[in-house]
Structure 1
Amino acid sequence: MRIAVIGATGFVGSHIVEELVNRNQSIKAFARNTDKVLDSKNVAKVALDVNDVQALATDLKGADVVVSAFNAGWTNPNIYEDYMKGAKAIEEATKLAGVKRLIVIGGAGSLYVNNQKELQIVDAPDFPEEIKQGALAARDYYNVLKQDKDLEWTVFSPAPEMHQGTSGERKGTYRLGNDVPVFNAEGRSILSVEDVAVVIADEIENAKHINERFTAAY
């Protein structure tokens, strides 16, 4: 397959690229600084201005699927506005390029705290204030993308404790869910970033969550 990965040097995006390389996929890796993109014969590096829709569309042509691990920067004081603008630009460029599938790495904040679906995690009173604007942006963009009738879109919400996953650990196994976190016996939802990459690579290859959001954890 021909896979475009946007945000290829980020925390999640870099692991997705590595997982796809290990599966011998053909990758076009987009990043602001391509010097940090993984060197591989399977990887073509492309410098990215996420808001240049026409240029991005040109570079996306020929891809079978676009994976957006775009992040506007957690320390960016304008993270909400910049994320919404960038995410919408990627969506538009994907359509202009004639690519049908778009997989977006969203946030855990739009997951519901339980099966009653009365409260999303980002709206809980104990949600960390320092990441709230980014989480709100990911949640609000998910609501935007749900209205897109042209793309075969997928949104992946990582486990709430993705950052607590053992660094460097790739188990290759996980359990799937939809709108509520997947909890273990201790009531925690944990998945390493390495296994997030496994989840995304599996979704690229198997297309099990077209026009829906899903999550995963151990």
Structure 2
Amino acid sequence: MKILVIGASGRVGTDLVKQLLADNHQVIGTTRQEERLFNDDNYSQLDLDITANKDAIQQQIEQDIDAVYFVAGSGGKDVLEVDLHGAVKTMQAADDKGIKRYIMLSTVFSLDTSKWDSLAIENLKEYYICKHYADQWLIHNSSLDYTIVQAGALKERAATGKITINDDNSGENSIEDVATTLAAVLNADNSINTVFSMHNGETNIAEAIAKL
């Protein structure tokens, strides 16, 4: 498949691109960095500014893309422009291009505002508001075949290959396990038009995805 990874230079994006290339997909990674991120014949790079207007974004996206991943993040800077407006513009561009598959990396409890009274979320309130409405747009205002993966806290630690899906705990995730989960839903038809939360747990990733 020909796959566009928006945010290829991020922590999750880097591991995701590695896994997609290992699965012999053709990957176009977006980054604002000048250096080439991956030395692989199946990899190409795009300097895509998601804070630009929607038409400019759309013009840079090739017509024959099979799937789009949105794993970009503002890192706390320009959250409205990146995590909300930037995300929505890429959804609109994909819709206009006739690209159906769109996989969003979101955050745990993004759609459940009743869980937002915890101190951890309170400190990230603007980010959560942006992710909430970006996810709502994807679900209710696009015609895309979406999957929204709501990951708990991202940690720089060894992969476990095991996760728990859709429980009431925010939990933590190895970054590589999040990337593996994102890669696993690509061809999982049962994940289309679904939203699920995840954190490291006891179930093999492939098995967990099969049971969605």
* Fold agreement, TM-score > 0.5: yes
**Corresponding residue for 1:171?**
160
Following TM superposition, the consecutive aligned residue runs of length 4 or more in structure 1 with deviations greater than 6 angstroms are none
Question: Could you tell me how far 1:147 is from its partner in structure 2?
Answer: 0.8
Change (3 A) 1:139 1:25: same
| TM-score, structure 1 normalization | 0.81
Structure 2 residues without counterparts, runs of 5 or longer: 202-212
Alignment of 1:189 onto 2:171? yes
- Give runs of aligned pairs for residues 130-209 of structure 1, distance below 5 A: 130-159=123-152, 161-163=153-155, 167=157, 169-177=158-166, 180-181=167-168, 183=169, 189-209=171-191
Question: Could you tell me how far 1:105 is from its partner in structure 2?
Answer: 0.8
- For 1:68, the aligned partner's letter is F
Q: Compare the two structures and name the one with the higher strand fraction.
A: 2
- For 1:56, the aligned partner's letter is I
Percent identity at matched positions? Answer: 23
Change (3 A) 1:192 1:134: same
Q: Which shows bigger deviation, 58-67 or 193-202?
A: 58-67
Distance between the aligned counterparts of 1:216 and 1:194, measured in 2? 13
Deviations 1:132-179 (A, max 9, x none): 2112211121122221351111111002x332xx52x223332332xx
Q: CA RMSD in A?
A: 2.2
Deviations 1:97-127 (A, max 9, x none): 2100111111124265xxxxx822xx21413
- For 1:29, the aligned partner's letter is G
CA contact (8 A) 1:153 1:210 kept: yes
**Corresponding residue for 1:115?**
none
Change (3 A) 1:36 1:158: farther
Structure 1 residues without counterparts, runs of 5 or longer: 113-117
Question: Could you tell me how far 1:22 is from its partner in structure 2?
Answer: 1.9
- For 1:208, the aligned partner's letter is N
| TM-score, structure 2 normalization | 0.83
